[in-house]
Structure 1
């Protein structure tokens, strides 16, 4: 059976680490898919539990040199990690400082002046004299190289063993080359001297490690800010619940709430489960689900959701979904999975980064050989070595690996806070390319709550009264799931109460209507296509039907024993924000289509009210996906917006499916984006968010590539020292992270402007 498991991975130092884990796990028998995110430090694995056990997955991860942590977004754990990295960096920096002072003083020719303190007495001269002692220099540099830098050696070893070299290979090689070359110089030239003033490069070995640690510290801080969206969602989760058991109130942990429990909620408390209010009245803040801060009124019969905040009154509700089954838990799962997913552009960047390490190693070796053998003619070994080391540490593709996932993590998190749920990075990337949006009518552009407005009796030989026809129609539609059927049944129930008419059989005709036998009479209720399909004529009601449709009403015909006897007209109220939303898409130069099973007259009437000019009418549910494909064949990138079961195939066929949060589970599952708030005015914001996120990705990739090529060029030509190379490498990664984080501010401002427009 197919199973999935998520892990928090500790110890990753670059995007190539995630690639190494992915490649190793993919080789395991039974693994179906693997996704490892460096930015999120999460691994998601789908596997066949008959062929593979989670213990084998964990063992493989640990064999690569990584550790598995708690799979949560604990802010305390993140702060602890940042403190650990800070301490490591500070110790490394303190130990590195004397080597840097020695290097700077040599560059300023101070060394030659202080070799003999007796000739130049003074505290500073004595200090510098002892500082330049090679034994003192090694005393500071060795702990940095082999204790503080042990993690780089360990990670490099495991990555080479897995045949997936990472950035740590370059750091270990670069710093080790500088350190051991210094050992060689001291052993050859300075063993008989108390001090050495030049020609050793312990400062390079130390600063490489120190500046990389600085970069990782800043990355950890930035990653903590990136995971803020998840933590904020987690903050809504209550810890305890008050339930009514054995005739008394009881406080229990949220994990102990069971389906069917009667839960008591007082003002200021968060709801521990999804359910239905049984008694009481209140207003509830559901912004964690919808992004809307306006509280929603709740009374008996109202649905309530876990993690929402009770504002004013108190009430009781019956728990229907608990734990991982709640809508809130589903949102957390979607957001975490989406932030850890990889878009096509990220896969391409990761693949390019995978080729970078062998390229850098090749260029470093080539640099050494060209300088030493050709330019210096077999002399100046130290300079040739230094240039090669500079290439190793300056050209690491860390920024390239971070460019895409960091922007996607921020973009998806920002969307979640606005009630826009991107299921994966691919949906976010594809939405950026969409140039056509297809809207379903019922439940999407309309509120999905049609009401019966007209009952017109047609000439018939059976002489049924309006009440008799409504009672028969209500009985037949009592088993229907269609919104129009429910509206008719509710109207009959409200006016006449429950009737005792016996429904002997019932059959739904998808996209057309229903067929039933009520009290021995054959009943057919459906659209014109339905009656035509059944060989029934409606000529005597055509004019009335067209008049209803011209008013934007949906008309259905009722037939008894093969004769059309009545016309029912239904009106579904348009969403108040629909027209403004369509106008915004027009300004964005995105084509808008209306797709519906209604007649062309109804479709045109509705479309005219909201400003849509392109309609696809009389489309059966199974034909909607075909219509989407026809648009795609015209070269359009299509987003489909729908909410019903009948929209699921079209949502799946579209380049991006956008499901309304109030829609069916099937539609939500088929969509790549879920509009939790059910507010269409947020939809243009989703498109703008996709545009802004992709713009950040392009910026990040551009600057990462510019950095890598420029740094390598300067290092190859001898114009970039190892220390500067290590610092610039660290800062390039950090600049990418903070450029991605700037999306938060610009995104929030864009949403504010769009909402006000």
Structure 2
């Protein structure tokens, strides 16, 4: 039976234990497997066709959460998001109520005659209304016989507030003039009259502030999708004067893009010339010049003159839509490290509850004051932090994919990110990867008495009739130097060249047949051969007059990229189907010592296999159909910006800008992300191992425990946000 994939948005999850619960509930359905991402609040579910979306949503609700089908067109949250505004207002109210309670409890000098009753009046709304979201989610978990971070917070607040009520009304703490010293520990020397209002309010405030800041961090790290979706304008101006929704555009329609406007969809420029700002799509900071015949991408901003564009792709077929889909796919995934962390988080909360009960029983059995024993149990409950475990990997992944998308690097998912960070060898194609893949005129050598322009004009006029890449390059160079003369009797001979009458003379452009040449022309041919370039001979009235040298030029930044890869400790290998001379010339210019030429697609794949057999972790960067086998066989495939659909489909990483420095950027981002994930997980585990034992031994005040717990999650979020800052190595 064919398996299907359904993506859901799940609301109400707060920690790794929630993730584990949702995955287990969905996994109880026959044939269903689920990966739930805490940072994005989304679930990717693989299921048989017989399992409906309603069945999946029902399972999510049975786990105690709310689910809905994921919208495939993400929208940027409004600047004044109602949910964010309510959370901010709740934090402000909690702060106003909690700060006086903390001051009175921690500073005995501020405790006036009936201070404890004022503290109760301020703490009551915090412990009820302020903590209600935690109580509600804890109760939902209790109904499903599960416990989460909300359970720990709810129990801690209820226990501390309940004990305070007991002490005030029955334990003597309500007496006029009562004084209570502040203790950094769980007050092992405390008395029954000790209040824990500062714990009830402090836990609620610190956790609420932490959750609010976590949510903001998640939105910031996951902003790539919103930024991409915001690039598409709502309307398009047709050439006939109509203004229609972008969704109504059809291929072949002509639309106008004025200066300052965003291009509505992919197309080809019909009229006009301008410069396009594509930094949000490709990371390129410098606008690119364009004119008639050039292809353009929807989402680019027109910063020059007006353009008339013929739409070539609309809707899901546009490049921007495909980019958005790739980023979305990456952010829905889950790394192997996070799967292990979520499994641990699933049993972590019950373990903390058991430790808290054990600590409470131990101190009561040891004869400690009941209030001190209770304070110890509360400290254990609130110091534990499964949130950090749940956020350690997904926040870093969100930040890394967002940072990559901003720099024109699309990473297909967590597994690709992990593999990219372990790469130690990069196999690079030449044509179209390190070079532009387009022939251009590099040099013109002429006999004495003939200028470069005098040679180019008749050659360009002839080649303007040709469809060969060499001919197009010569014609383009000649047109840039002035109008071309007329041609009569044009003839193209496959394998030899073109000929015809130009300005009354017999002109031919083609291969040198080995006959004797003047010294400057023979030297130009020999130099072209040494450099791996192509040379053609121009004859006028059967007399050799010029040698035109053409070649595929290096991409911008190719030399700096190879140097940077070497500085990062990576081995580079050039593998091309081109001639040995061309491969040698490019390799020497770039500083690549390991080169292979005249390779068939299968031979490229064999080189990859040999490197992997040596224990190397190999990435292949290519752009053509002939690279797809090697891309698929490598540990990781990298497709360059203007590569074929086949190459992009076989790759794990796609570079959206032609600057090959994106290869080094991608590896640097992955390395930083992998290190960030390791640091986050190490901190999350170490924090809990370090703080829970002192709390169980009564050496930690519950309020300080709550502050430490919130700080732990915020440190994980802050460490992940560092990935959004661009940095070059």
> Residue 707 and residue 29 in structure 1: after superposition, are their counterparts in 2 closer, same or farther (change >3 A)?
same
> Residue 94 and residue 574 in structure 1: after superposition, are their counterparts in 2 closer, same or farther (change >3 A)?
closer
Moved more, 570-579 or 488-497: 488-497
1:54 alignment counterpart: 53
Give distance in 1, aligned partners of 2:299 and 2:174: 73
- CA deviations on 1:435-494 (whole Å, 9 max, x unpaired) are 11110122111212247999xxxxxxxxxxxxxxxxxxx9xxx9xxxxxx9637969999
> Residue 609 and residue 93 in structure 1: after superposition, are their counterparts in 2 closer, same or farther (change >3 A)?
closer
2:213 maps to 1:218: yes
2:129 maps to 1:147: yes
2:565 alignment counterpart: 585
1:579: how far off?
Answer: 2.2
1:354 to 315, 331, 346: 346
Normalising by structure 2, we get a TM-score of: 0.79
Normalising by structure 1, we get a TM-score of: 0.76
1:35 alignment counterpart: 35
Count of aligned residue pairs for this structure pair: 640
1:17 alignment counterpart: 18
- Secondary structure of 1:399's partner? helix
2:411 alignment counterpart: 422
2:115 alignment counterpart: 128
- CA deviations on 1:111-141 (whole Å, 9 max, x unpaired) are 7xxxxxxxxxxxx53x437437xxxx2x554
Give distance in 2, aligned partners of 1:489 and 1:310: 32
2:663 maps to 1:674: no
- Secondary structure of 1:572's partner? strand
- CA deviations on 1:487-532 (whole Å, 9 max, x unpaired) are 379699999999999x9xxxxxxxxx9xxxxxxxxxxxxxxxxxxx
> Residue 573 and residue 97 in structure 1: after superposition, are their counterparts in 2 closer, same or farther (change >3 A)?
closer
1:403: how far off?
Answer: 2.2
Give distance in 2, aligned partners of 1:325 and 1:683: 25
CA contact under 8 A between 1:553 and 1:571: conserved in structure 2? yes
CA contact under 8 A between 1:65 and 1:154: conserved in structure 2? no
- Secondary structure of 1:275's partner? strand
1:314 alignment counterpart: 306
Query: Structure 2 stretches of 5 or more lacking a match?
Result: 180-192, 444-462, 477-486, 496-524, 536-548
Query: Structure 1 stretches of 5 or more lacking a match?
Result: 112-123, 455-473, 479-484, 504-512, 514-544, 556-568
Give distance in 1, aligned partners of 2:407 and 2:419: 19
1:286: how far off?
Answer: 2.2
> Residue 398 and residue 181 in structure 1: after superposition, are their counterparts in 2 closer, same or farther (change >3 A)?
same
- CA deviations on 1:584-609 (whole Å, 9 max, x unpaired) are 22222211111123455543343223
> Residue 546 and residue 362 in structure 1: after superposition, are their counterparts in 2 closer, same or farther (change >3 A)?
farther
Give distance in 2, aligned partners of 1:549 and 1:386: 84
2:232 maps to 1:237: yes
Give distance in 2, aligned partners of 1:547 and 1:191: 98
2:196 to 201, 216, 229: 201
1:677: how far off?
Answer: 0.5
2:60 maps to 1:64: no
1:74: how far off?
Answer: 2.7
1:421: how far off?
Answer: 1.5
1:443 alignment counterpart: 432
> Residue 51 and residue 78 in structure 1: after superposition, are their counterparts in 2 closer, same or farther (change >3 A)?
farther
Q: How does 1:528-567 map to 2 (within 5 A)?
A: 551-553=531-533
> Residue 386 and residue 622 in structure 1: after superposition, are their counterparts in 2 closer, same or farther (change >3 A)?
same
Give distance in 2, aligned partners of 1:160 and 1:26: 20
1:409: how far off?
Answer: 1.7
1:110: how far off?
Answer: 8.0
1:398 to 378, 381, 387: 387
Moved more, 182-191 or 381-390: 182-191
1:385 alignment counterpart: 374
1:264 alignment counterpart: 256
Q: How does 1:679-698 map to 2 (within 5 A)?
A: 679-698=659-678
Moved more, 352-361 or 728-737: 352-361
Moved more, 307-316 or 618-627: 618-627
CA contact under 8 A between 2:103 and 2:110: conserved in structure 1? no
Output the aligned Cα RMSD. Answer: 3.7
> Residue 586 and residue 23 in structure 1: after superposition, are their counterparts in 2 closer, same or farther (change >3 A)?
same
- Secondary structure of 2:271's partner? strand
Give distance in 2, aligned partners of 1:46 and 1:77: 35
- CA deviations on 1:262-312 (whole Å, 9 max, x unpaired) are 212222111111112223332222223221132223333221111111222
Give distance in 2, aligned partners of 1:394 and 1:78: 33
